């Protein structure tokens, strides 16, 4: 059964791929890496193209229309997130956290779990690193201890809303309450979460995500949140658009606008238009999106449970709530061989490797994460174009591999 009729359509749902001497419909189970473009996103970009022009300060009609489209896109994203003070358009989640890392006040105590994606883990110059917690309650306890141990001054807890490896949901609300009780702020990596669940960012100080994982693959991401640190920080990019004035003697006065201050240069208007279209389309019926994914995930997990030697990876056990993202190993087969077999013989796209989360993989697989170790896994991830047949083909392909 497919629920596609009630869900937003994706471009490329009818893609076929070469397999041996023939072709097969592509079973894309790699949404967590990059999701295909939504049809509504493609339409929005196509509609914007005839008036495409450079934004801000242009008196011409096309520039006016494009400026309006860009700022309306910002408004849509703001609404999508429940109304944060600032919505800065960046390239992706990695860019968002690098911007935030430069914007935190000097001496900020940053606390981050080792289970994070590298984009969330690496931008901080100094951070207290916490080992992957054994339970959600342990995550809260470890964060409390670390935040309380930070020297007096600004503090920031950085955490994912959902793991890009196991799909498990993190106790973000509890961690936000805790951070605030400790006088700290919280920054949430919503790169995976926002494509699967509505995110009300009220009460979260910062949220980051990428358009290409949200069915808007046009090179835009978002850092949204409180304006004060962003206003006070040195501009992330120095150049036109971020300035109020530049004097003949070289003195620069930067704009105090939290958004424009960090968006110097010609912005990616089409990326912003695309992202806003995706936000609108997903928000139209979240219940349908969640219901379809929940059903497919159950089908996938019960199918995988029938594959001998397959081990599903998780931090917090099989019953912990998760998104439609699932990593596994297959005894006796390298992750690369499994992924290649699925691609070459069954026309299935999955991901293999360490998913830019080396410490987490080392933790889950019992290694150190060093470069000379294999320590890899296979990840299957679901999205709006996924149908039962894709899931069943994956399970059948794995069963064939293990014999
Ligand atoms: N955070 C998570 C949870 C991710 O899954 C990813 C990408 O896989 C990122 C951050 C980085 O996203 P990007 O590569 O778009 O910067």
Ligand 1 mean position, distance from CA 356 (Å):
8
Ligand 1 mean position, distance from CA 261 (Å):
24
Pairing of strands 155-160, 109-113: parallel
Ligand 1 atom index nearest CA of 160: 3
pLDDT at 58: 78
Q: Is the CB of 166 under 6 A from ligand 1?
A: no
Q: How confident is the model at residue 57 (pLDDT cuts 50, 70, 90)?
A: confident
Q: Locate 167 and state its tokens.
A: 């799909």
CB within 8 A of 47, min separation 6: which ones? none
pLDDT at 59: 86
CB-neighbour burial class of residue 39 (10 A; exposed 0-12, middle 13-18, buried 19+): middle
Ligand 1 mean position, distance from CA 21 (Å):
36
Write down all domains in the chain, each with its CATH number in brackets.
3-30+285-402 (3.90.1150.10), 41-283 (3.40.640.10)
**Is 291 in a helix, a strand, or coil?**
helix
Q: How far apart are CA 16 and CA 146, in angstroms?
A: 50
**pLDDT tops 70 at residue 81:** yes
Q: How far apart are CA 380 and CA 376, in angstroms?
A: 13
pTM equals 0.96
Ligand 1 mean position, distance from CA 325 (Å):
14
Return the residue whose CA atom lies nearest to atom 15 of ligand 1.
92
CB within 8 A of 119, min separation 6: which ones? 92, 93, 94, 97, 189, 191, 356
CB within 8 A of 357, min separation 6: which ones? 115, 116, 117, 118, 163, 164, 165
Q: Locate 393 and state its tokens.
A: 């083909």
Q: Is the CB of 120 under 6 A from ligand 1?
A: yes
**Is 359 in a helix, a strand, or coil?**
helix
Q: Please report, rounded to a whole number, the percentage of residues in the chain having pLDDT higher than 70.
A: 97
Q: How far apart are CA 202 and CA 85, in angstroms?
A: 10
Q: How far apart are CA 380 and CA 391, in angstroms?
A: 9
Radius of gyration of the chain (CA): 22
pLDDT at 292: 97
Task: Please name which of 146, 142, 101, 139 lies closest in space to residue 119, comparing C-alpha atoms.
Answer: 101
Is residue 55 within 8 Å of residue 66, measured between CB atoms? yes
Q: How far apart are CA 144 and CA 243, in angstroms?
A: 40
β strands within 181-332, DSSP E: 185-189, 206-210, 221-225, 243-246, 252-254, 310-312, 325-330
**pLDDT tops 90 at residue 268:** yes
Ligand 1 atom index nearest CA of 221: 15
- DSSP calls for 7-19: S--BTTTT-EEEE
Is residue 378 within 8 Å of residue 338, measured between CB atoms? yes
For range 32-54, the mean pLDDT:
97
Ligand 1 mean position, distance from CA 196 (Å):
14
Q: For 348-367, write each residue's pLDDT tens digit.
A: 999 999 999 999 999 999 87
Question: Mutation test of ligand 1: which of 93, 120, 327 has the most ligand atoms closer than 8 Å to its C-beta?
Answer: 93
Q: How confident is the model at residue 372 (pLDDT cuts 50, 70, 90)?
A: low
For the stretch 304-311, contacts whose Cβ atoms lie closer than 8 Å and that sit 24 or more positions apart, written own/partner, are: 304/328, 304/395, 304/398, 306/395, 306/399, 307/395, 307/398, 307/399, 307/402, 308/402, 309/402, 310/398, 310/402
Q: For 213-264, write each residue's pLDDT tens digit.
A: 999 999 999 999 999 999 999 999 999 999 999 999 999 999 999 999 999 9
CB within 8 A of 325, min separation 6: which ones? 31, 32, 162, 163, 164, 165, 166, 167, 192, 379, 380, 381, 382
Ligand 1 mean position, distance from CA 94 (Å):
7
Ligand 1 atom index nearest CA of 163: 3
Q: How confident is the model at residue 148 (pLDDT cuts 50, 70, 90)?
A: very high
CB within 8 A of 231, min separation 6: which ones? 256, 257, 258, 261
Question: Mutation test of ligand 1: which of 188, 191, 275 has the most ligand atoms closer than 8 Å to its C-beta?
Answer: 191
The residues assigned a catalytic role are 356
- Residue 247's alpha-carbon distances to 223, 234, 252, 272, in angstroms, are 30, 18, 6, 32
Q: Is the CB of 10 under 6 A from ligand 1?
A: no
**pLDDT tops 90 at residue 371:** no
Q: For 11-22, write each residue's pLDDT tens digit.
A: 999 999 999 889
Ligand 1 atom index nearest CA of 95: 16
Q: Is the CB of 117 under 6 A from ligand 1?
A: yes
Q: Could you tell me which residue, 29 or 374, shows the higher pLDDT?
A: 29
**Is 245 in a helix, a strand, or coil?**
strand
Q: For 95-138, write each residue's pLDDT tens digit.
A: 999 999 999 999 999 999 999 999 999 999 899 999 999 999 99
Q: For 177-224, write each residue's pLDDT tens digit.
A: 999 999 999 999 999 999 999 999 999 999 999 999 999 999 999 999
Q: Locate 57 and state its tokens.
A: 């300060």
Q: Mutual orientation of helices 388-402 and 286-304 as an angle, nearest 10°?
A: 20
């Amino acid at each position: 059964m497919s629920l596609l009729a009630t869900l937003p359509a994706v471009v490329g749902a009818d893609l076929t791929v070469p397999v041996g001497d023939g072709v097969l419909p592509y079973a894309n189970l790699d949404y967590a890496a990059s999701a295909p473009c939504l049809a509504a996103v493609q339409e929005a970009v196509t509609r914007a193209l005839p008036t495409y022009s450079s934004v801000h300060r242009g008196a011409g009609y096309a520039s006016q229309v494009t400026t309006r489209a860009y700022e309306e896109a910002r408004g849509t994203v703001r609404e999508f997130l429940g109304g944060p003070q600032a919505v800065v358009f960046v390239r992706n989640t990695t860019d968002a956290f690098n911007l935030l890392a430069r914007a935190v006040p000097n001496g900020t105590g940053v606390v981050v779990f080792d289970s994070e994606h590298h984009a969330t883990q690496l931008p901080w110059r100094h951070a207290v690193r916490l080992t992957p917690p054994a339970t959600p309650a342990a995550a809260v306890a470890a964060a409390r201890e670390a935040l309380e141990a930070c020297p007096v001054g600004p503090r920031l807890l950085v955490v994912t809303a959902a793991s890009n490896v196991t799909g498990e949901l993190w106790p973000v609300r509890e961690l936000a309450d805790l951070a605030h009780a400790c006088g700290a702020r919280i920054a949430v990596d919503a790169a995976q979460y926002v494509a699967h669940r509505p995110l009300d960012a009220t009460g979260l100080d910062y949220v980051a995500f990428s358009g290409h994982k949200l069915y808007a693959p046009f090179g835009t991401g978002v850092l949204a949140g409180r304006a004060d640190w962003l206003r006070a920080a040195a501009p992330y990019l120095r150049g036109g658009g971020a300035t109020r004035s530049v004097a003949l003697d070289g003195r620069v006065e930067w704009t105090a606008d939290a958004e424009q201050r960090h968006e110097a240069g010609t912005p990616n208007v089409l990326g912003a238009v695309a992202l806003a279209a995706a936000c609108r389309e997903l928000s139209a019926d979240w219940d349908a999106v969640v219901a379809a994914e929940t059903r497919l995930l159950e089908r996938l997990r019960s199918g995988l449970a029938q594959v001998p030697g397959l081990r599903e990876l998780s931090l917090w056990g099989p019953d912990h709530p998760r998104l439609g993202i699932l990593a596994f190993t297959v005894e006796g087969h390298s992750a690369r061989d499994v992924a290649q077999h699925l691609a070459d013989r069954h026309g299935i796209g999955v991901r293999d490797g360490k998913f830019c989360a080396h410490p987490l993989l080392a933790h889950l697989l019992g290694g150190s994460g060093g470069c000379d170790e294999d320590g890899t896994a296979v990840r299957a991830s679901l999205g709006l174009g996924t149908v039962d047949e894709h899931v069943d083909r994956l399970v059948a392909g794995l069963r064939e591999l293990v014999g």
